[in-house]
Amino acid sequence: MTAAAAASHPVRDMVMDAAGSGTPLRIAGRSHWMDAGRPVAASRIASLAAHSGVVDYVPGDLTITVRSGTTLREIEQITGAEGQWLPLDPHGSADGTIGATIATGSFGPLAHGFGRARDLMLGVEFVTGDGKIVRGGGRVVKNVAGFDLVRLATGSWGTLGVISEATLRLYSLPARPATLSLSVPDGANALAQRITSILSTPATPFAVEMVDAELAGRIGLPRRPQILIELGGNHAAVEAQRHALSQLGGAHDVGPEVWKQFRDIEDVPPSANGSRPPVVLRISALPTRIAELWMSTHNAIGHMDGAMMHASAGLGIVRCILPAGTPLETIQPLTSAAAGATIVFERLPSHMWPTLSPSVIADRLSQGMSRSFDPHNILNAGIMGPVH
């Protein structure tokens, strides 16, 4: 980028302006999910919503470069027209931006087959807290040139820089998708066995997601716990996988629209931001612990009205969505039931942060990153925890 072009970079101008006056910025995409992370004290919103659109898309290369304000839905439409897709399905609205998805490191059930945001990222451009436009990675599918600014930016919640552009790896849309539901047996042992047998068939599903009765009901399925499996590939591959999974018993086809409904249950439109959001926590452990975690979590919240849970069995992740107003006394036992697992609070009322979650950037290296990339501490300050 030439000096003249750099000077008129809209994101950089925004950051430089704030840095000059020491104004802390609250970064926003489409503002669907501004209450994720700790509260941010900022006097100005830096909106990326208008910084959108495709910079470069060569379908033959299966890569796309977009500005960060581009929504996932726009990416889906543009790539879909070429028979391609970005297999990244974070919970929440498809109207969210790619910048926010990368900044928050969000992912959904497809992470089972395609990895998380960090695995689909080829290149990134972001603007550091002192107004430097930096790029990591590139536009090709393989690249080890230089230190990895791509992974550093992914999941950094905007605290190291405002993401302005990203290059992503695409896949061809599967010739023949299929969505299956398998019944969930009672008891931890039976459940563990069922998961093991699903994962050890020769099938290579795109997604394997357990949903509880409440969630099943909300997405238009019979109100009972079940395992949703997404298959894809050529006709023969899908039929063979469907056959292998049917052998396990209790399998039937459900439409692919369950995934859309699954995603939409957490869609909170920006205008509703004033309302009290649910509490969302993600518990991660080794995959062999998934049945035990599922049962203990279920025991802790199963009785609550409106509580829902789902699990990415192959990844070892249980995710709980609890109604707004869930008291601390309910959440605490849940976190102790998950002892030894990693807990990420995706949504938590501001007053609970200090009790439930110590800073996630408390270590020396993380604090160093934050100071070094955002020396004036103006980018989403405090969202991951205080920098000392």
Partner 1 sequence: MTDNTALAEQLEQIVGERFLLRRKSDLLVYNSDGLPGYRRMPRLAVFPGNRDEAIRVVRTLAEHGAPYVPRGAGTGLSGGALADDIVLLGMHRLKRVISIDRENLRAVVEPGVVNLTLNRTVAPLGLIYAPDPSSEAACTIGGNVAENAGGPHCLKYGVTLNHILSITAILPDGEIVTLGNPEGETAGYDLRGAFIGSEGCFGVALDVTARLTRKPAAIRTMLADFTSVDDAARVASAIIASGIVPAALEFMDAPTIQVVESSVYAAGYPADAAAVLLIEVDGIAEGVDADRDTVREICLSGGARTVKVAQNDAERTRLWQGRKKAFGAMGRMAPHLVVQDAVIPRTRLAEVLAKIREIAEANRVVVCNVFHAGDGNLHPNIPYNADNPEEAGRVHRAMGEIMRACVAAGGSITGEHGVGLDKIGYIELIFSPDSLGAMCRLREVFDPQRRSNPGKVVPIHSCQEWRATPARRASEHVPGAGVAS
Ligand X SMILES: Cc1cc2nc3c(=O)[nH]c(=O)nc-3n(C[C@H](O)[C@@H](O)[C@@H](O)COP(=O)(O)OP(=O)(O)OC[C@H]3O[C@@H](n4cnc5c(N)ncnc54)[C@H](O)[C@@H]3O)c2cc1C
Task: Report in angstroms how near the CB of residue 107 gets to partner 1 at its nearest.
Answer: 11
Q: Which tokens belong to 334?
A: 């849940």
If one asks whether residue 235 binds partner 1 (CB under 8 A), the answer comes out as yes
Task: Report in angstroms how near the CB of residue 139 gets to partner 1 at its nearest.
Answer: 6
If one asks whether residue 108 binds ligand X (CB under 6 A), the answer comes out as no
CA distance 44 to 23: 7
If one asks whether residue 19 binds ligand X (CB under 6 A), the answer comes out as no
- Contact between 64 and 75 (Cβ < 8 Å): yes
If one asks whether residue 118 binds partner 1 (CB under 8 A), the answer comes out as yes
Q: Which of 98, 166, 203, 254 binds partner 1 (CB under 8 A)?
A: 203
Q: Which of 55, 94, 188, 244 binds partner 1 (CB under 8 A)?
A: 244
Judged by beta carbon, residue 58 or residue 272, the one nearer ligand X is: 272
Judged by CB under 6 A, the chain residues 166 through 225 that form the site for ligand X are: none
Question: What's the length of the chain?
Answer: 388
If one asks whether residue 163 binds ligand X (CB under 6 A), the answer comes out as yes
The values of phi and psi at residue 120, to 5°, are -100, -5
The values of phi and psi at residue 92, to 5°, are 115, -160
Number of residues that bind partner 1 (CB under 8 A): 80
Task: Report in angstroms how near the CB of residue 63 gets to partner 1 at its nearest.
Answer: 7
Instruction: Please give the angle made by the CA atoms of 386, 148 and 281, to the nearest 5 degrees.
Output: 45
Which residue's entry shows tokens 């049917």?
246
Backbone CA torsion sign across 171, 177, 181, 187: negative
Judged by beta carbon, residue 204 or residue 372, the one nearer ligand X is: 372
Judged by CB under 8 A, the chain residues 295 through 334 that form the site for partner 1 are: 315-317
Which residue's entry shows tokens 């039931």?
337
Which residue's entry shows tokens 């989403």?
380
- Contact between 169 and 130 (Cβ < 8 Å): no
Which residues contact ligand X by CB under 6 A?
A: 27-34, 36-37, 48, 68, 72, 90-93, 96-97, 99-101, 103-104, 106, 157-158, 162-163, 266-268, 346, 380, 383
